[in-house]
Amino acid sequence: MNNKERMFHAVLFEALALAIIIPIASIATSSESMELMVVGVGMSLFTVVWNYLYNVLFDRYIPGERSKRSLLLRIGHAVGFEAGLIVMTIPAIAWFLQVSLLTALIIEAGFLVFFFFYTTGFNWVYDRWQPYRRLFVA
């Protein structure tokens, strides 16, 4: 995956996730959609950077044809990605929403459940469908 495709992958991942998670989180937490949108966009921007760095390292240490990666490997990929993200985002959520670290952890847990399945499914489908290559490579 070249750098342009990595950026395409990261932006597509985040845009689809926000379109799904913001309305659900607003209903589940009875929070204002705009407040959640700010948190979501901020976390998305951070996550795009984390996604890029994590996948560069993942591809470096797990070489081979992406389309042949197993679902089990993708589950491991998702667990590693989310574990790194959770350590970095809980303090930011607590600060922005003015809630305790425990409340931020609970909010993050909801995001983690969603993103665990979303990350696994998104990357598995992406690897098989190869949208960047279909759209931009002749």
Question: Whole-model pTM above 0.85?
Answer: no
**pLDDT per position as a tens digit, 8-56:** 998 899 889 988 988 888 887 777 778 888 888 888 888 889 988 999 9
Give the DSSP letter of residue 62. S
Q: Domain span at residue 93?
A: 3-136
| pLDDT-based confidence at residue 125 (cuts at 50, 70, 90) | very high
Q: Which residue is it, tokens 């591809």?
A: 59
Give residues with Cβ within 8 angstroms of 10, minimum separation 6: 48, 51, 52, 55
Domain count, the chain: 1
The C-alpha angle with vertex 113 and arms to 111 and 119, in degrees rounded to 5, equals 85
